[in-house]
Amino acid sequence: MNLVVLLKQTFDTEEKIEIENGAVAEDGAKFIINPYDEYALEEALRLREAHGGTVTVLSCGPERAAEALRTALAMGADEAVLLEEDGLPDDGGAVAAAIATAVVRLRPDLLLAGLFAVDTGAGSVALQAAEALGLPHAAAALKLEIRDASAAAADADGGGSGGLAAVVQRDTEWGLETVEIPLPALVTAQQGLNEPRYPSLPGIMKAKRKPLQRLSAAELGLAEAELAPRTGRIALQAPPARAAGRRLAGTPAEQAAELARLLQSEAKLF
Question: Does 150 have pLDDT greater than 80?
Answer: no
Give residues with Cβ within 8 angstroms of 127, minimum separation 6: 96, 137, 139, 186, 188
Greatest C-alpha distance within the chain: 72
Would you state the pLDDT for residue 157? 52
Give me the amino acid identity at 191. Q
Question: Does 192 have pLDDT greater than 70?
Answer: yes
Neighbours of 62 (CB within 10 A): 14
Give residues with Cβ within 8 angstroms of 8, minimum separation 6: 33, 34, 37, 59, 60, 61, 65, 68, 114, 117, 119
Helix, coil or strand: residue 73: helix
Under DSSP, the state recorded for 71 is H
Give the chain's mean pLDDT: 90
Would you state the pLDDT for residue 153? 55
Taking only the tens place, the pLDDT of each residue in 228-251 is 888 888 888 887 788 888 899 999
Phi/psi at 82 (5° precision): -105, 115
- The structure's pTM equals 0.85
Q: What is the mean pLDDT of residues 45-52?
A: 96
Closest-CA residue to 202 (of 76, 94, 35, 50) = 76
Taking only the tens place, the pLDDT of each residue in 79-119 is 999 999 888 888 999 999 999 999 999 999 999 999 999 98
Residue 22 or 66, more confident = 66
pLDDT band at 152 (very low <50, low <70, confident <90, very high): very low
| Burial track 132-143 (b if 16+ CB lie within 10 A, e otherwise) | bbebbbbbbbbb
In contact, 169 and 139? CB cutoff 8 Å: no
Neighbours of 55 (CB within 10 A): 26
Q: What is the mean pLDDT of residues 121-141?
A: 95
Would you state the pLDDT for residue 94? 93
Residue 54 or 28, more confident = 54
Residue 268 or 126, more confident = 126
